[in-house]
Amino acid sequence: MNSKERVKKAFHFDKPDRVPIAIVGIKYDFFYCPTVEPRSWQPTRYPPHVGGGVNTISKGYFRKLIYDWNDKYRKEAGFPKEWWKYPHDSIDEWGIIWKSAGTESDDLTKGHPSKGPFQENWDEFDDYQIPDASDPKYYRLIKTRLWKYLGRKKYTLGSFGKNGFFNLCSQLRGFSNLLVDLARNPKQVDQLIKKVLPYYLIHIEKFKEFYPNLDSIMIADDLGAQNSPFLSPILFKNIFKEPYKQIIQLTHDLDMDFILHSCGQIFELMPDIIEAGVDVFQFDSPLMTGVDNFKKFAEERKVAFWLSSNIQSTYILGTPEDVEEEIKGYIRDVGNNEGGLGICEYATNKTIGTPRENIIAQREATLKWGNYNKKGVIDWID
């Protein structure tokens, strides 16, 4: 079976030949289909904050082929030609200010949201215009023949990049302010949700229009801290569950899977997210929410999991043998259900300092231990 078939079977408990694996680049089973900011978007007061932050825009090929800041605006704003090397504020197309330490400090993260357009007050809310997700220029990369050729036999993911749904609301309003508003001003939060929800719905429709073979929509929405979700299950259910249902239902109506990436411990929110229709949870730090908890959901075939060796511990601090044992445990405890599991590789290994031997160990362990027989059983598991 090809990669597309393998992942679909794995994520829907339908007897794949092996556990699918994603690595950075086009090798193996997954293929990313990102949107990119229109070149016509050119901020004047700050440098642009694009998906991936300075780790993206510092690459010459990205500036040459995909997006670059106009020299006229750069000079008028008083920034040097290679502005991404130094500490700076930048702005994204939503008007959110981000802080970055710059690549000279080896800060290769996407930066940190600092101030949103509604952080001080709601005065500009009624006149605020969300980005136009119907603009074909967002999809200029995935529209190309090359992109469609490269992804033809892969499981393709429509990626929303830096802005998950809850995260975007918190960035626009300010994280602490939003948490207070959830308790004290829920009607205003509801208005904010109604303001930004069309962006996601239109984006999903356009993704499928411009890339008809798209298999899934993936949203990265960090919902938890180290030990608990940011908001209570009751608040999530009352405020965020319905917009998630709308997003997921549209994804399903267009014959695609819905994949949610989330950082943090979100176990208490998972039942409502599953009820909203999520097909796959993608976790980079699975130990925070707990593999035993995943096991219960997978055994009931309620949802599949796409996991990395734990990036806060094993993946960066362990030995290759530790990584192998962790991946083997995922396969045994989560993936032994005629599917239900995929393995993913952290997108920017250099950012977190992953040893090269651990990256290789995760790939090799998946291929070594993740093979199913024709009955959908992994033979080495008793």
CB atoms near residue 193 (< 10 Å): 17
Place of tokens 């939503």: 94
DSSP 164-200: -HHHHHHHHH-HHHHHHHHHH-HHHHHHHHHHHHHHH
Dihedral pair phi/psi, residue 97, rounded to 5°: -90, 130
pLDDT digits (tens, 9 = 90+) for 306-326: 999 999 999 999 999 999 999
The answer on 233 and 93 residing in a single domain is no
Cβ–Cβ under 8 Å, residues 138 and 36: yes
Long-range contacts of 246-249 (CB under 8 A, 24+ apart): 246/197, 246/201, 247/165, 247/197, 247/200, 247/201, 247/204, 247/217, 247/219, 248/276, 248/277, 248/278, 249/277
pLDDT digits (tens, 9 = 90+) for 187-225: 999 999 999 999 999 999 999 999 999 999 999 999 999
List the structure tokens of 46. 């700050």
Please compute the mean of the pLDDT values over residues 122-130 and round it to a whole number.
Answer: 94
What per-residue confidence (pLDDT) applies to 26? 64
**CATH code, domain carrying 350:** 3.20.20.210
Which residues lie below 8 Å from residue 79, measured CB to CB, with a gap of 6+? 47, 88
What per-residue confidence (pLDDT) applies to 51? 86
Does residue 285 lie in a domain region?
Answer: yes
Three-state DSSP class for residue 155: strand
The answer on 17 and 111 residing in a single domain is no
Strand order in 112-115's β-sheet?
88-91, 97-100, 112-115
pLDDT digits (tens, 9 = 90+) for 40-68: 999 999 999 998 888 899 999 999 999 99
Please compute the mean of the pLDDT values over residues 250-272 and round it to a whole number.
Answer: 96
The rounded distance, in Å, linking the Cα atoms of 17 and 13 is 11
Domain boundary among 117, 135, 152: 117
pLDDT digits (tens, 9 = 90+) for 66-112: 999 999 999 999 999 999 999 999 999 999 999 999 888 887 778 89
The answer on 235 and 195 residing in a single domain is yes
Domain boundary among 86, 117, 148: 117
Q: Which of 25-39, 72-86, 98-112, 346-360 is the most confident on average?
A: 72-86
Does residue 161 lie in a domain region?
Answer: yes
Three-state DSSP class for residue 283: strand
Q: What mean pLDDT, rounded, does the chain reach?
A: 93
Domain boundary among 48, 82, 117: 117
The answer on 23 and 55 residing in a single domain is no
Place of tokens 């199913």: 372
Does residue 374 lie in a domain region?
Answer: no
pLDDT digits (tens, 9 = 90+) for 263-311: 999 999 999 999 999 999 999 999 999 999 999 899 999 899 999 999 9
The answer on 94 and 182 residing in a single domain is no
List the structure tokens of 274. 């599953």
| Domain boundaries, position 87 | 40-117
The answer on 147 and 108 residing in a single domain is no
Distances (CA, A) of 221 to 230, 240, 293, 328, 365: 12, 12, 20, 27, 28
How many domains, in total, are found in the chain?
2
The answer on 356 and 254 residing in a single domain is yes
Please compute the mean of the pLDDT values over residues 119-143 and round it to a whole number.
Answer: 94
The answer on 324 and 232 residing in a single domain is yes
The answer on 32 and 69 residing in a single domain is no
What per-residue confidence (pLDDT) applies to 162? 63
Does residue 122 lie in a domain region?
Answer: yes
The answer on 209 and 282 residing in a single domain is yes
